[in-house]
Amino acid sequence: KAGVTQTPRYLIKTRGQQVTLSCSPISGHRSVSWYQQTPGQGLQFLFEYFSETQRNKGNFPGRFSGRQFSNSRSEMNVSTLELGDSALYLCASSVGGGGGNQPQHFGDGTRLSIL
């Protein structure tokens, strides 16, 4: 079974631009979560999608948004990029349970650098 695939692996943008990251979950997984990982803040939860609906949301500004398609693939968008958005963005999928009731399977992330 193929794992979670995130594209692209690396991305360089400048301040003010916007970016879209993509995540393909494990086949059969309906829940997709996104996390931001930085050395200073650690792993921060962004949001979770289940069956095309945002089920949970972390404490991030509205510049961070996402969506999920009918095939469970998910995209995350960040608009008006700031230097502080430089981070490793991780996507994780699970069969469906909320509240961390099931193991999450992670992709290798997208490394976003803002110049």
Partner 1 sequence: SQQGEEDPQALSIQEGENATMNCSYKTSINNLQWYRQNSGRGLVHLILIRSNEREKHSGRLRVTLDTSKKSSSLLITASRAADTASYFCATGAGNQFYFGTGTSLTVIP
Residues that bind partner 1 (CB under 8 A): 4, 33, 35, 42-43, 45, 48, 55-56, 90, 92, 98-109
- Nearer to partner 1 (CB atom), residue 13 or residue 105: 105
Q: Which residues are CB-contacts of 42 (< 8 A; sequence separation ≥ 6)?
A: none
Residue pair 5/56 in contact by the 8 Å Cβ criterion? no
Min dist. Cβ of residue 3 to partner 1 (A): 9
Min dist. Cβ of residue 108 to partner 1 (A): 5
Is residue 115 classed exposed, middle or buried when 0-12, 13-18 and 19+ CB atoms within 10 A define those classes?
A: exposed
Min dist. Cβ of residue 53 to partner 1 (A): 12
